[in-house]
Structure 1
């Protein structure tokens, strides 16, 4: 597999020589950090438990991944996008065979290729995009959910990984590559461009509804959709530079914590999801070049800023300190726990950049928030994870590892597991340890083209 990657990089280098303006982007491999045997054992345990989610919580025929472990849950295209490379982690760590992973991956891609694409309210997708959730019974739209741009993007990033990882002449692996190309090429990106007026003009819309049309909001920076613009650029969205400039215009360069100035977005997942697939070390667009940092460093600072927020603990939540932080999208205690003037929320996009910029902070901690920042700041993440276990024990640990979230202010634990938490946990640990996902995504021509189109350069 390493030989394939080196040959593809060599091909890209030769191509770049014919066009001096083109940059060749590469993975920098694993993160250079010395782990103790205790650290290795801890990460082994967390990864293997998280992997079991993707092995067990899937459709018995189509292999698409459920949104959460609850029996009633539909499948999620984002969770499936994370699930595809998770199967490869299982192969590399000896938990399943390559043949099993190929079978499951081929089943997933076949489902999406063969599922219904139309403007009907009960289809699986439209214009190459897919609905956020699908019924486990029929494989069609669940509830009245949106045709999701960013979640389709996460699915496609997993598919990009697959077409590079499964690179042998085996007929099934060849078919994976063929189906991947079909799914990527079918997307009609300009269908999702917002109108040319209003504050979201020319951005990529958050979604579309067959009942009402485009979502009334578009993806403006900074948040988890950074990768979406790179993907759209690589797949030929018209006027993508204009759309990307619209995305950049709303960046909030936050300097509240003077040691950690960064493009702010309070929920930590917004600083993690793009980095699961793209190795941004040393890599910046024109905006970040002017700030003098790359996107990897931006996520490191966001991680440190949130830890500092927990240490400051402006709302006085029980447990917050230097070893208990991780505020991001998760379930929560809900209003059933409201008392003494304190308000608690259910599922919410929690986050905190500083005391003046925080969303829905109600004392709820999601362990995956810290774990998914492992590549950026292992020196603070590992002690935090160990402390969570020491302080809470089996109370926050179940069959797939860490539960989704806990809140020590009201002594609440959500004993469910969510796919878009399990995936980042498993994959960011793997990137930290081996660089696996980065290796097979960075070499893809779509990613190379997208980064070049949007002006990403190395320092």
Structure 2
């Protein structure tokens, strides 16, 4: 998992010529009377969306890799955009349009800018790189050998691209033209080429280093959506054997492990006993609806609910005796973190790697799986920690009551799931758009998936 390998700190700055979604710009929310659950969810969704609207990269309008409101950056690099985070941003724009946080015409204008940028940006056998320069569209190396196509980041982007197409395809003539632009983008990805002539997908290819990164996509982690889209492609699809032999390891993906009496169901790579970071339950499932979704290996609703409940129970039991941990202060995932010397770093928090840092995105983005527990955490963050945690783009990325520490910074890959999963909790919008795309339905069927909810 590339986010767990290393991450660079880059500069970001804000700016937009379009109207603001009119969230709360104050450093702490004003709550003279307690908000209802519905009001709270709306406030958090609207404010978090500002990451992708007010603080988008000015030229491309894609999502910046990160945003630091205090301007404290170690490098002068304010135009780096993230491919996967931009996919989450596309879905956030659809959610915001449906909520009238921004007008439909504003959304179309911005999405046209994004589509034109992506059409002219660097691509490698159809796949975009992990990072791009928002001014030029040229690849920004994520690492020395990671200077080419990134298939997983591309999958996260295409998940959003398909949702945009579905949302606008039956609209006005201008909207239909926009939908066609996005349709052309996703059809240009050569998923099958990224098999490297084997029955598994590979994460990276570089024009300078070829396949030297050597990361086969084997389950289970955050990458399921890559196989779904590779199977769904009408232009460059993979055969089901790549999914069953590569991702599912000929059935070896299935797990008999339990934690707190809760079955894990699938083997979480490197976290086989208690599950990986919670973003594994979010990234692939922003569009892919796990409700009643099954294949021969698992029921994916149970996979994600159980994963979340294990993470929650770990924080409630609090074997590490960290201050604050409990039923309304929980959630471990990859995010900014506090290093032992007190400096800010990046860490993949999970039950087997718990250092006393809670990431708001972990609990909030899990609201579709654990609504009562997630609402309790969100209300606690908002009502009791807002002076530390609430900022211009919603809750900051990470917090530790134990160390009285907050990462007053944001990451696109953490803010995006908050907006999208809150909307899925409220209306199921992004799930319905993605799952009703005909190619997605066929791709899932090709791999042996069935959905009782969507009738296939």
Range into which the TM-score falls when normalised by the shorter chain: 0.7 to 0.9
Report the number of matched residues: 394
1:415 aligned onto 2:417? no
Indicate if the aligned counterparts of 1:150 and 1:228 stay in contact, CA closer than 8 A: yes
Indicate if the aligned counterparts of 1:222 and 1:252 stay in contact, CA closer than 8 A: no
The separation in 1 between residues aligned to 2:194 and 2:344, in whole angstroms, is 31
My pick for the range that moved more, 51-60 or 168-177, is 168-177
Change (3 A) 1:252 1:240: closer
Find the counterpart in structure 2 of residue 107 from structure 1. 113
Find the counterpart in structure 1 of residue 87 from structure 2. 81
Where do 1:205-220 residues align within 5 Å? 205-214=202-211, 215-220=213-218
Where do 1:166-315 residues align within 5 Å? 166-168=168-170, 170-194=172-196, 196=198, 202-214=199-211, 215-235=213-233, 236-249=236-249, 250-251=252-253, 253=255, 254-263=257-266, 264=268, 265-288=275-298, 294-315=299-320
The separation in 2 between residues aligned to 1:427 and 1:416, in whole angstroms, is 20
Find the counterpart in structure 2 of residue 53 from structure 1. 51
SS of corresponding position for 1:96 = coil
4+ long deviations beyond 6 Å: none
SS of corresponding position for 1:233 = helix
The separation in 1 between residues aligned to 2:359 and 2:244, in whole angstroms, is 31
CA drift of 1:315 comes to 2.8
Report which structure shows greater RCO (CA 8 Å, sep ≥6): 1
Find the counterpart in structure 1 of residue 165 from structure 2. 163
CA drift of 1:452 comes to 0.5
The separation in 1 between residues aligned to 2:415 and 2:431, in whole angstroms, is 18
Find the counterpart in structure 1 of residue 348 from structure 2. 349
CA drift of 1:169 comes to 5.1
CA drift of 1:205 comes to 1.3
The separation in 1 between residues aligned to 2:264 and 2:60, in whole angstroms, is 45
Indicate if the aligned counterparts of 1:430 and 1:436 stay in contact, CA closer than 8 A: yes
- Unaligned runs of 5+ residues in structure 2 are 1-33, 72-76, 269-274
CA drift of 1:66 comes to 0.7
The separation in 1 between residues aligned to 2:196 and 2:327, in whole angstroms, is 41
Indicate if the aligned counterparts of 2:83 and 2:153 stay in contact, CA closer than 8 A: yes
CA drift of 1:393 comes to 2.7
Indicate if the aligned counterparts of 1:281 and 1:295 stay in contact, CA closer than 8 A: yes
Q: Deviations over 1:108-154 (max 9, x none)?
A: 11111122xxxxxxxx2211101111123322111344321111001
CA drift of 1:194 comes to 4.9
Q: Deviations over 1:141-176 (max 9, x none)?
A: 113443211110011111100111002353332222
The separation in 2 between residues aligned to 1:157 and 1:375, in whole angstroms, is 18
CA drift of 1:195 comes to 6.2
1:91 aligned onto 2:90? no
2:40 to 31, 39, 42: 42
The separation in 2 between residues aligned to 1:412 and 1:191, in whole angstroms, is 45
SS of corresponding position for 1:126 = coil
Indicate if the aligned counterparts of 1:106 and 1:175 stay in contact, CA closer than 8 A: no
SS of corresponding position for 1:332 = strand
Indicate if the aligned counterparts of 2:130 and 2:142 stay in contact, CA closer than 8 A: no
SS of corresponding position for 1:287 = coil
The separation in 1 between residues aligned to 2:181 and 2:331, in whole angstroms, is 38
Indicate if the aligned counterparts of 2:88 and 2:417 stay in contact, CA closer than 8 A: yes
SS of corresponding position for 1:134 = strand
The TM-score normalised by the length of structure 2 is 0.82
2:382 to 355, 364, 389: 389
My pick for the range that moved more, 149-158 or 62-71, is 62-71
Change (3 A) 1:458 1:155: closer
1:320 to 320, 325, 345: 325
The separation in 2 between residues aligned to 1:406 and 1:159, in whole angstroms, is 32
The separation in 2 between residues aligned to 1:193 and 1:57, in whole angstroms, is 36
SS of corresponding position for 2:248 = helix
The separation in 1 between residues aligned to 2:152 and 2:450, in whole angstroms, is 24
Find the counterpart in structure 2 of residue 136 from structure 1. 134
Find the counterpart in structure 1 of residue 67 from structure 2. 69
Indicate if the aligned counterparts of 2:335 and 2:398 stay in contact, CA closer than 8 A: yes
Indicate if the aligned counterparts of 1:318 and 1:408 stay in contact, CA closer than 8 A: yes
The separation in 2 between residues aligned to 1:148 and 1:433, in whole angstroms, is 32
The separation in 2 between residues aligned to 1:185 and 1:136, in whole angstroms, is 22
